[in-house]
Chain A
Amino acid sequence: MSAILTRRSTLPGFPLTMGLTLTWLSVIVLIPLAGLFLKTLELSPDQLWAIVASRRTLNALKISFGLAFAAACVNLVMGTIVVWALVRYRFPGRRLFDAIVDIPFALPTAVAGVALTALFAEKGWLGAPLAAVGIKVAFTPLGIFVAMVFIGIPFVVRTVQPVLIDLDPEIEEAAASLGASRWHTITRVILPSLLPALLTGLALAFARAVGEYGSVIFIAGNLPNVSEIAPLLIVIRLSEFRYADATAIALVMLIVSFLIIFVVNRLQRWAHRRAPAP
């Protein structure tokens, strides 16, 4: 490996630190992950398909991916509104609200899970008024959706924020002076230049929601085929020692994660190409 690596520095320690980095990366991350892929090789394609296409697995995957996508879309819309308010307007408490956006990142997922459940349970602060109008949130798929919206909040806001701050004011002024209405300027000029950042935020929020476990399982109800998410099904299969089943579900989820990494990298390259050189 070190033969490919070209050294253009007079500083010492490259072979040592690179060697340690690769070794430690392999021991903690790469070998354990490779073990998972190796495990799936023990299954024939037919067996793998039988597990993934079984009703319960398929439903769990549908619930996880479907609700995660719906939650990411809500985060896209609400995140755009939040970031617009934070960047473009001055109002009392703006800095506080800016800081609040990070709480879903910082709050341990189990804490978020029990708090959301207590909040949306039938006697909770929000659950009671919602139950009065006939909407049940906790222990239904809607609860999963609510938890996924919660954990996805920071992604769109934090990816779009720096781009919106850096947006050249002249293009807006030019659009206005050429007679574009404010609405036209926003939809035709501003939003398109935010598009790579918006899509990156959407992809990151989706990826996080798909894999999320702690904040979802308390509020989910966890009824097989109805409100059972894929990560929970993995945990159940592991506790039943059905490692092959757990591995097959994990494989599907990992492939999606890697696809998302790829998409996000592409989006970022796109954004770089569009951004004028500083």
Chain B
Amino acid sequence: MSIEMTLQRERSRRSVASSDAGTSARAAAQVRTEPSTVRIAIIATAMIFLGVFVVLPLVMVFAQAFSRGMTAYLAALAEPEALSAIRLTLLVALISVSLNMVFGLVAAWAIAKFKFSGKTILITLIDLPFSVSPVISGMVFVLLFGAQGYFGSWLQSHDIQILFAVPGIALATTFVTFPFVARALIPLMQEQGTQEEEAAISLGASGLQTFFRVTLPNIKWGVLYGVLLCNARAMGEFGAVSVVSGHIRGETNTMPLVVEILYNEYQFVAAFAIASLLAMLALITLIAKALLERHLDEGKLSDDH
């Protein structure tokens, strides 16, 4: 996932350029294509593969959610357990997204605006949570704060509840979504350089003024982009949260956990009703992401000229 965001943006930026070049080169590039039978076979294979493995599961979510009609769907979402899960999911996402947004801004300032040795290692360390299995991401907090964990007895004697409570869920979610905002901002801020900020400083602006008046307006779409992806993952995280949540009904179950519980209890309509909300979140995120990428690319194009 780590390279996804940068690749994604690079791709769309390049496809804009290549489509201009593509039309003029088309006539000359007759040798660069395959016979039409091969072409149709490749397109059909790609479409069938994506259709079976991606489109059908997505359609399945909504088909199952609405299999007993709209009333059953809405009733399932109005259950107290569902509502408390939605509230908890929103709360946890709010906590971890704001923490990671502040971290992302601070880290991107240090990494993108200054030269220092060990930069690549630092970025690799920030990326680490992307390469760790979600289950292990939750487990590290069990080892720290669990009853037998390093701080377990201290926490118990001070009556502080981290595991099987909101702080643990928020911590695990923050871990899992740690790199998103920083990774969205670092390449963007590196590309923008330091000239504008240096000009502001030399004109007498303070560091904070420079950041809020010069840097932030330049990177606002990038921040939104990072926050968007961070939020989608935070609301949908399952493995890490499952390990630290304790599955206390109506208290520590986020939406993905309730999907699991209801599914295992054969309450399929209810399980898929909540799953459909998460699927809609995913679709909205993808659409918003595409729009933001266009914005970011336009910003770059106008910078170039």
Using CB atoms and an 8 Å cutoff, list the residues of chain A in contact with chain B.
4-14, 17-18, 20-21, 24-25, 28-33, 35-36, 38-39, 78, 81-82, 84-86, 88-89, 91, 93, 97, 99-112, 114-116, 118-119, 124-126, 146, 149-150, 153-154, 158-159, 161-162, 165-166, 169, 172-173, 176-177, 182, 204, 207-208, 210-214, 218, 231-232, 234-235, 238, 241, 243, 246-247, 250, 253-254, 257-258, 260-261, 265
Give bound CA distance, A260 to B127, whole Å: 13
Contact of A21 among B107, B113, B285 (CB under 8 A): B107
Q: Is the CB of B117 within 8 A of A5?
A: yes
Residues of A within 8 A of B124 (CB): 261, 265
Give bound CA distance, A107 to B117, whole Å: 38
Residues of A within 8 A of B290 (CB): 99
Residues of B within 8 A of A124 (CB): 60
Residues of B within 8 A of A250 (CB): 133, 135-136, 139
Q: Is B225 an interface residue (CB 8 A)?
A: no
Q: Is the CB of A97 within 8 A of B114?
A: no
Q: Is the CB of A29 within 8 A of B7?
A: no
Q: Is the CB of B148 within 8 A of A241?
A: yes
Q: Is the CB of A214 within 8 A of B275?
A: no
**Within the complex, what minimum Cβ distance (angstroms) separates B167 from chain A?**
13
Q: Is the CB of B259 within 8 A of A110?
A: yes
Offer 26 A-B interface pairs, CB within 8 angstroms, sorted by A.
A11-B198, A18-B114, A28-B171, A29-B128, A29-B175, A32-B141, A32-B144, A35-B140, A85-B46, A86-B46, A99-B290, A108-B235, A108-B256, A108-B278, A109-B239, A110-B236, A115-B58, A125-B56, A158-B3, A165-B11, A165-B14, A212-B133, A214-B242, A257-B132, A257-B133, A258-B131
Where chain B touches its partner, the secondary structure class is: helix
Give bound CA distance, A254 to B129, whole Å: 11
Give bound CA distance, A104 to B60, whole Å: 14
Give bound CA distance, A129 to B116, whole Å: 60
Q: Is the CB of A154 within 8 A of B4?
A: yes
Q: Known A4-B117, A114-B271, A125-B60; judge A35-B279 contact (CB<8 A).
A: no
Q: Is the CB of B50 within 8 A of A97?
A: yes
Q: Is the CB of A161 within 8 A of B7?
A: yes
Bin the interface of chain B by size.
35 or more
**Within the complex, what minimum Cβ distance (angstroms) separates A193 from chain B?**
14
Q: Known A100-B50, A243-B143; judge A110-B260 contact (CB<8 A).
A: yes
Where chain A touches its partner, the secondary structure class is: helix
Q: Is the CB of B197 within 8 A of A108?
A: no
Give bound CA distance, A35 to B53, whole Å: 38
Residues of A within 8 A of B144 (CB): 31-32, 35
Q: Is the CB of B4 within 8 A of A97?
A: no
Residues of A within 8 A of B15 (CB): 165
Q: Is the CB of A115 within 8 A of B60?
A: yes
Stretch among B26-34, B68-76, B216-224, B296-304 lining the A interface: B26-34
Q: Is the CB of B135 within 8 A of A213?
A: yes
Contact of A11 among B114, B127, B238, B268 (CB under 8 A): B114
